[in-house]
Amino acid sequence: MEYGTIPGLDKPISRIVFGTAIRTMMAGESADELLDAAVEAGINAFDTARGYALAERSLGHWLTRRGKRDGLVLITKGCNVGPLGGNRVNRKTILSEMDRSLETLQTDHVDLYLLHRDNPDMEAGEILEILNELKEAGKITCIGVSNWTHQRIQAANEYAAAHGLSPIVASSPHYGLPDQLEDPWGGGCISLSGPDQGPARRWYREHAMPVFAYASLGGGFFSGKFKAGDEAGAKKILTGGLRKSYLRPENMERLRRAEILGEQLGASVSEIALAWVLRQNLDVYALVGASSPARIQSNCRALEIPLSEAQCQWLDLERDEP
């Protein structure tokens, strides 16, 4: 396992982060075997959210049964969009959802809190003031955001510097080999993928901002459950907004190339796609779920695949030859 760090957290974070938005955990069922297998594989970071149905409850039960949190990095998110797509980022919801998360997770703090969405109608500094209240209260150790543009993050951190506040130290956008051509979930999802997001990626590099990349496999596009060109098979795996976002010729070509490279390197399509994410010139942590210990091992093997810069560019359609 490879590890990194984020400012303000006194423990390392595994580059592979276990994502709890999986069927078993969202149903509130026990996932002890999976979570134990993740720890055995070297994964020490676990990502959940108020918006993931009962996943926080499942994770909280495991934490309690395990009896210790030493060395683990607990990440949760709050203020996802409402059932009808309405924005819920406001002072009351931020504070109340934080308390509900801690109660459900059966802990007194989380290591990294990611505000799940932005609210463009609020000043970035105003939102940061609220998040600093949670930090001062000891409920969160580090402040992060999800689905914020880099311009908003910069505005918030400039406000923090001017007012002596703790800044945003981590960001969780979509980032993966498949280009997210439309927002698949609604409510302002932000992506770093694709040729149009070059300026955003450059900002992340220049500011050394850690990226907690969600949907690294494109919501199943690089799961290996269908082959390049099999649009009917893809439609069985990709549901709802995932089809309109990922089911495009450009992404099918990326999948075809991942299949070719996977065959050459003895790796699965998902391992190639994750390796691509982890070999970018960014401080990346890949948020990926797993339904079995075998899948956890597969995700971790992506760290061992030595993709060259040329291969990465070829996978992303930036050159014609690997």
Closest Cα partner for 247 from 184, 194, 197, 290? 184
| pLDDT score recorded for residue 127 | 98
Average pLDDT for 123-141: 98
Mean pLDDT computed over every residue of the chain: 95
Q: What is the mean pLDDT of residues 28-48?
A: 97
Distance in angstroms between the alpha carbons of the first and the last residue of the chain = 27
Distances (CA, A) of 64 to 54, 60, 69, 104: 16, 6, 9, 11
The H-assigned helical ranges of 218-267 are 231-237, 241-246, 249-265
Alpha helix stretches (DSSP H) within 168-279: 198-206, 231-237, 241-246, 249-265, 269-278
* Strands 211-213 and 13-14, sheet pairing: unpaired
For the record, the structure tokens of 58 come out as: 């499942």
If phi over 0 gives left and psi between -120 and 50 gives alpha, with beta otherwise, what is residue 256? alpha
Phi and psi, residue 208, nearest 5°: 50, 40
As separate numbers, helices (DSSP H) first and strands (DSSP E) second, the chain gives 13, 10
Q: Helix H segments across 44-163?
A: 55-66, 91-105, 124-136, 150-163
Q: Let me know: does 175 contact 141? Beta carbons within 8 Å.
A: no
**Does the pLDDT at position 210 exceed 90?**
yes
Report the percentage of the chain scoring pLDDT > 90: 89
Span 10-27, pLDDT tens digits: 999 999 999 999 999 999
Half-sphere exposure of 208 (CA within 13 A, CB side): 4
User: pLDDT per residue over 59-114, tens digit each?
Assistant: 999 999 988 888 999 999 999 987 767 899 999 999 999 999 999 999 999 999 99
CATH architecture of 3-222+271-307: Alpha-Beta Barrel (3.20)
User: Mean pLDDT across the stretch 24-46?
Assistant: 97
- Which range among 100-109, 127-136, 238-247, 295-304 shows the weakest confidence by mean pLDDT? 238-247
* Nearest-angstrom CA–CA distance, 211 and 153: 12
250 residue type, one letter? E
Rounded to 5°, angle at Cα 44 from 262 and 168: 95
Contact 282, 211 (CB under 8 A): yes
Is residue 188 predicted with pLDDT exceeding 70?
yes
- Determine the pLDDT at residue 79: 94
146-161 average pLDDT score: 98
Beta partners for residue 74, in sequence order: 46
pLDDT band at 190 (very low <50, low <70, confident <90, very high): very high
Task: Delimit the domains of the chain by residue range.
Answer: 3-222+271-307
